[in-house]
């Protein structure tokens, strides 16, 4: 009897100790979601190549129709449409329904909807390789039925809206609207290691005007503060992928203080940034200001092709030779140089040489101009590629003139840059053995310079002799008023702990611990 009593007392003591430890772990009011990290492999690369034609067609249509229109218009959701989740590496687990059905999702600050494959997905092969939501097995399911479709850079998903409880960690979001995907035609979703996407962007870009999961977490009082933060573990030797913290920040995840910048346009977590520096030298392209988006749904760093080409040249990345670019330099290079030396307005130079038209603030290429004049049945007839190449050449020459280079050297330099233009998929190969000698690339945000070393902006795919190294910089050209725009993915967020402050509408960055 005494032995039994002592055993019972020991179990009771251990239970109370574990209970107190569990309480202390949650006393700070933070919800911690462990993230898994996926190593990029050749399957991902193969899928990306198979999708390249589709993606380039979409990029071309976006170049044609521009990014005009008010927030919430179809034009403003096109940044979501450009997303390619093949390079996303961080995933977490959620549950939908009662009892919870488990799904692996990307927590994506660059979109706003929650979607998972549906048990009613009969004719798309990717659905057979992923967990599927079965509404018949949930006691909290509510029928909605409204149709839904989301276009990504690698294909669309479509289906219908439903409502159910969503479990994130120990918290349950009640009555959450989400998309049951019944069609996933893309190769991307076939080889993807994730089942769906949980968007953490603003409601303004939510398809179907569905209330995002995060909004309901705040509204239902499930979090201490209207703040969430990402810590992404970049240590390849550790299994832990990182942590997404809802309700605040974990002081163990960062060093020093955060630099905060206000959200300038709700939809994406968008803010103003300054120039991009290559090896400490300003590129000059964003000296007048650029916008940026903090995006956990991609690993890459997407920005204006003009700057990305300069970076590719500096790191020795091999892209696709642009014949239009070289033709512009050969035929108009000296004229552009003379106009710059004569202190002509840089924004007007390409219209002065006849390669672009000028809309009062900037050069407009043929593709955009033809859309503008479609109602009148007129078209400028100017080449879209030639106009873009001219505008890039102007920026490159300006940069070199500031460094007091000779005219011959400048023309040679611009020709070299033409050879470094990114491929249609935006990815350029580099020599894995030269990474240590590559320059630091920096972003100016909130008056502070944030550095990225070569090891942080180069993607390594595979191991050993078969390894391939890819420049993490990809071209993305979005004209004013929305752009020029940078998308700062996991490469940036891995180096810098990122805070998304929903209450104060700001984004913060600090050195990750």
Do the Cβ atoms of 284 and 402 come closer than 8 Å?
yes
CA dihedral 63, 68, 73, 75 (to 10 degrees): 10
Tell me phi and psi for residue 24, to 5 degrees. -65, -30
CB atoms within 10 A of CB 87: 24
Burial class for 299, CB neighbours closer than 10 Å (0-12, 13-18, 19+): buried
Cα gap 75→57, rounded to integer Å: 16
Tell me phi and psi for residue 150, to 5 degrees. -125, 125
The residue count of the chain comes to 513
Q: Is 295 a catalytic residue?
A: yes
The alpha carbon of 76 is separated from its chain's Cα centroid by a whole number of angstroms, namely: 15
Do the Cβ atoms of 100 and 173 come closer than 8 Å?
no
Tell me phi and psi for residue 184, to 5 degrees. -135, 85
Tokens at residue 27, please? 């006393």
Cα gap 211→204, rounded to integer Å: 9
Tokens at residue 368, please? 């955009």
Q: Give the CA angle between residues 191, 195, 200 to the nearest 5°.
A: 120
- Partners of 510 in the beta sheet? 497
Which of the following is catalytic: 76, 195, 295, 477?
295
Do the Cβ atoms of 163 and 224 come closer than 8 Å?
no
Which of the following is catalytic: 87, 108, 275, 490?
108
Tokens at residue 46, please? 């193969």
Short-list 97, 104, 88, 204, CA closest to 153: 88
Query: What does DSSP say about strands 441-445 and 448-452: parallel, antiparallel, or unpaired?
Result: antiparallel
Short-list 369, 363, 365, 368, CA closest to 349: 363
Q: Which ranges of 403-507 would DSSP assign to H, the alpha helix?
A: 407-418, 454-457, 490-495
23, 205, 229, 300 from 224: Cα distances, Å = 15, 25, 13, 32
Short-list 113, 218, 84, CA closest to 500: 218
Q: Is 108 a catalytic residue?
A: yes
Short-list 172, 161, 151, CA closest to 210: 161
* Spatial CB neighbours of 441, under 8 Å, sequence gap ≥ 6: 276, 277, 278, 311, 451, 452, 457, 473
Tokens at residue 490, please? 């996991």
Catalytic residues: 108, 295
């Amino acid at each position: 009897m005494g032995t039994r009593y002592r055993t019972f007392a020991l179990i009771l003591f251990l239970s109370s100790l574990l209970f107190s430890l569990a309480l202390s772990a949650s006393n700070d009011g933070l919800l911690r979601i462990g993230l898994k990290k996926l190593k990029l492999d050749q399957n991902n690369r193969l899928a990306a190549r198979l999708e390249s034609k589709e993606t380039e067609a979409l990029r071309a249509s976006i170049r044609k129709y521009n990014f005009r229109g008010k927030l919430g218009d179809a034009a403003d959701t096109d940044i979501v449409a450009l997303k390619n989740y093949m390079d996303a590496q961080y995933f977490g687990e959620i549950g939908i329904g009662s009892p919870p059905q488990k799904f692996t999702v990307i927590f994506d600050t660059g979109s706003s909807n929650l979607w998972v494959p549906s048990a009613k997905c009969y004719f798309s092969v990717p659905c057979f390789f992923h967990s599927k939501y079965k509404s018949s097995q949930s006691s909290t399911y509510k029928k909605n039925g409204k149709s839904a479709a989301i276009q990504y850079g690698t294909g669309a998903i479509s289906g219908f809206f439903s409502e159910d409880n969503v479990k994130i960690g120990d918290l349950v979001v009640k009555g959450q609207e989400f998309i049951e995907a019944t069609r996933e035609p893309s190769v991307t979703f076939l080889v993807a290691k994730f089942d769906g996407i949980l968007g953490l962007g603003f409601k303004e870009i939510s398809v179907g005007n569905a209330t995002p999961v995060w909004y309901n977490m705040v509204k239902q009082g499930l979090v201490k503060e209207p703040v969430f933060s990402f810590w992404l573990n970049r240590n390849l030797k550790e299994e832990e992928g990182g942590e997404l913290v809802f309700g605040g920040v974990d002081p163990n995840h960062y060093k020093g203080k955060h630099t905060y910048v206000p959200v300038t346009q709700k939809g994406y977590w968008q803010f103003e940034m300054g120039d991009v520096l290559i090896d400490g030298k300003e590129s000059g392209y964003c000296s007048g200001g650029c916008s940026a988006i903090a995006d956990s749904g991609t690993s890459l760093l997407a920005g204006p092709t003009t700057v990305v080409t300069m970076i590719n040249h500096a790191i020795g990345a091999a892209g696709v030779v642009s014949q239009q670019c070289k033709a512009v330099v050969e035929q108009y290079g000296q004229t552009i140089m003379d106009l710059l030396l004569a202190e002509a307005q840089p924004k007007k130079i390409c219209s002065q040489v006849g390669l672009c038209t000028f809309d009062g603030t900037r050069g407009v290429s043929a593709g955009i101009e033809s859309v503008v004049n479609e109602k009148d049945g007129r078209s400028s007839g100017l080449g879209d590629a030639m106009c873009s190449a001219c505008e890039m050449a102007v920026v490159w020459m300006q940069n070199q003139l500031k460094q007091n280079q000779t005219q011959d050297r400048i023309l040679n330099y611009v020709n070299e840059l033409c050879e470094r233009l990114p491929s249609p998929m935006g990815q350029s190969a580099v020599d894995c053995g030269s990474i240590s000698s590559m320059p630091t690339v920096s972003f100016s945000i909130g008056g502070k310079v944030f550095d990225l070393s070569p090891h942080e902006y180069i993607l390594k795919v595979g191991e050993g002799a078969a390894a391939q190294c890819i420049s993490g910089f990809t071209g993305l050209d979005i004209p004013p008023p929305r752009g020029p725009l940078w998308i700062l993915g996991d490469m940036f967020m891995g180096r810098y702990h990122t805070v998304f402050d929903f209450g104060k509408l700001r984004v913060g960055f600090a050195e990750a611990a």
